[in-house]
Structure 1
Amino acid sequence: MENMEFRCVRSCWGNYAFDYIHSNSVGNSGGILCAWDPNSFRKSNYTISDFFVIIRGVWLKNGIDLLIIAVYAPHDPRDKRMLWDYLVHTINQWDGEVVIMGDFNEVRHKSDRFGSIFNAQGADEFNSFIANAGLEEVPLGGSAFTWCHKSATKMSKLDRFLISENLFITCPHITATTLERYLSDHRPILLRESSNDYGPVPFRFFHHWIELEGFNNFVVDTWKTAPGDASNGMRNMMCKLKFIKLKIREWIKSNRHSRKGMREKYKEELRTLDDDIDNGNGSDTVVNKRMEVINDLQHIDKLNAMDMAQKTKIKWSVEGDENSRFFHGLLNKKQNQLNIQGVMVDGV
C-alpha cells in the first residue's frame, strides 16, 4: 500500500525529488496530500488530522522557520469552530512564518457566495480566526469563485491562502491566482513569488558631466580596460557599455559628494577672506584669492544648475505649457468651436 502511494505521488510530482505526507480520506471526503522538494524545504516534524496536515520545518532559501498547514475544513459549524480554535493555538505557539492553504468550507464576505445562503455567524467566526492568528489573506487573482456546483447555479470562494503578516514584508511579491478546474468542482489555486522585470534601467547622460574635470579621461581609460567578448562584436560592445555605465555612476556619485564638500569649503574660505578685508587686511593677495574662490563657487553652481535644468526639462515642458497664455488661448478657441450657436426647427 505504501509503495502504491509513493507511485501515485510520483506520477503527480514527475520525478523522485520529493518528500510527502498525507491524511487519509474520511467517508466521501477526500484526504490531504502534501508534497515538497527537500532541496527547498526541510521538514522537522508534522501533525496529521482528518481536517488538516501541519508541517514544521525550514525554508532553505532564506533559512526562515516555516509552518505549513493544509486544510480541508469540515461542514459542521461546531467542528469548524473547534478547528479554528486549535489552529489559532498552534499558530500562536509557533515562532516563525505561517502559510495556510486549502478548502476552508467557509467564506469571509457575502460577495464570496452566489446562489446560496450567506451564513453571517460562520463568516464572523472565520474572520475572527484569521485575525486572532495574525494572518492575512493573499489577494486571489483570476476567477472570483473557487467552487462551483455542477449545475452552475451555486458558486463560492472556499479556497484561499492565508499567510503571516511578516511574510508579506519579507516576500512582498507573493501573489495567488486561480487555475482551470476542468472536471473538478474546485479550481486549483497557485501561490508564487514573482516580480515584474521591465528590463534594464535607462541610463541617462547629463550634459554637465562633460564639464567635470577628468571626466573625459575617465571614460576613455574605463573603455580601454572594460572586459568584453572578442568572439562577438555586438556582445563585446554590450559588455563594455554595461561595464562603463556602472563605473560612470560610481564616479559621478563620488564626484557629487566631493563637489558638495568643496562648495562648503569654498564658502567657509570666502567668509574668512571677507573678514580679513573688513578688518583692513585687504592686500592684493587676499583680493586675488577671493576672486579665485568666487570663480570656483560659480563653477560649482553652474554645474548644479545644468544638472537641475536637464532633470526638470520634461516637467517644465509639460507644466510650463499648461500655464502659458498659448495653452489657455488654445482651450478658449476649442471652447468657442464647440459652443452651440443655435438650433434650427422647421427651417427657423
Structure 2
Amino acid sequence: MVTHSHLTRRAFAVGTALFGLTANALPAMAADFPTKPIRIIVPWPAGGGGDVVVRLMAPALSERLNTPVVVENRPGATGTIGSTIAAKSPADGYTLVYGTADSNSIMPHLLKGVSYDRRSFVAVAPIGYFPYALAVHPSVNASNLKEFVQLARVSVAPLSYASWGIGSSGHVLGESLKAATGIDMLHVPFQGTAPVLNALISGQVKAAILPMPLVEQYVKSGSIKLLGVAASERLPGLNELPTLKEQGANVDLTTWVGFLAPEKVPADVVARLHKAINEVEARPDVSARLRQLQVISQPMSQPDYQTFVDSEYERWGKVVRQSRITLE
C-alpha cells in the first residue's frame, strides 16, 4: 500500500531532482557572475568613435569584474550586422553590444530585413551621447553655416556630404540639414566613421556631420574645419563654435550611445553589469578621457535607461519618417 507520506516523500524527491536540473540549465546568477570572459560587440569598424570609447572602457571594466573583457568589431550595414549577432547571442550576460541611435533607434525603422527591434535588447547602462558638428574640407569657401548654404545654392553640381552608411544618424542629420536650409547636397555613404573622416580630410567629399570625438584633433591641425555644432547648446571648451540652431537651422538631434544585452538576461546580472559600468565611467581617469573625447555623460538608473532607450526608438522613428529616407 502506498501511503500519503510515501507519496509526499516521492514528490519531494522528484521535485528536488527537477529543481537541480532546472538550476543547472539556468544562466549563472549575479552571485557568481562572471565566471568567464565577457565580449563587447562593436558593430562598427575599428578606429571609429564608438570603438575608441569601448576600448577605453574595456580594461577598466575587466579589472572591475575580475574577468577578461574582449572587444569584437563586427561592422556592416550601418551597425545592423553586429547588432543582429548580439541579439541572437545567449541571454547570459556574457555578450554586450555597443548600442547606438543608428543601429538601435533608426535602422529598425528603415531596414525591413532587420531581425531585431527595441524588444530584442535590455538596456544595461548608458555611456552618454556624442555631440555632432558640421565639418567641411578646408577648400570649402565658408566659415559659417550661412556662407555654406550660399555656396551650396550657387554650386553647379551639388556639394557632396558623407555619412557612415545609408540610414545612419549622419545620413539622417544630413537630410535634416538639407530640409532645414533648403539646399541640395549629394549623399556619399561609407562603412564607418573612420572612412568618412579619411574621405573628408583627403577632399574626396566636401562635408560631413561627424561626432566631435573624431574631429577635434583634425580641426586643431587644420585638416578640416567646423561650421557649427548639431546640439541644443554650445559645447564646453568650444564656446566659440555656434550651434546650427543659432545659425538658423533647427538641427539639434544628439545621438545616444550605451551598452545593451540580449533580451531575457537575468535581472540581477543586468544590475551587476550596470553597477560595474557606472563605476568604471566614474573613475577619474576614464571620465577625464571621455570628456576629452567630447562624450557628454548621461548617468541613469537601469530602469530609467530602459525607458530612455524605448523613447529614443519612438523619437527617431518620427525623425526617419520626416526625413523621407527609404532603403531599397
Normalised to the residue count of structure 2, the TM-score between the two structures is 0.20
Normalised to the residue count of structure 1, the TM-score between the two structures is 0.19
Higher relative contact order (CA 8 A, sep 6+): 2
State which structure, 1 or 2, has the greater radius of gyration over its C-alpha atoms.
1
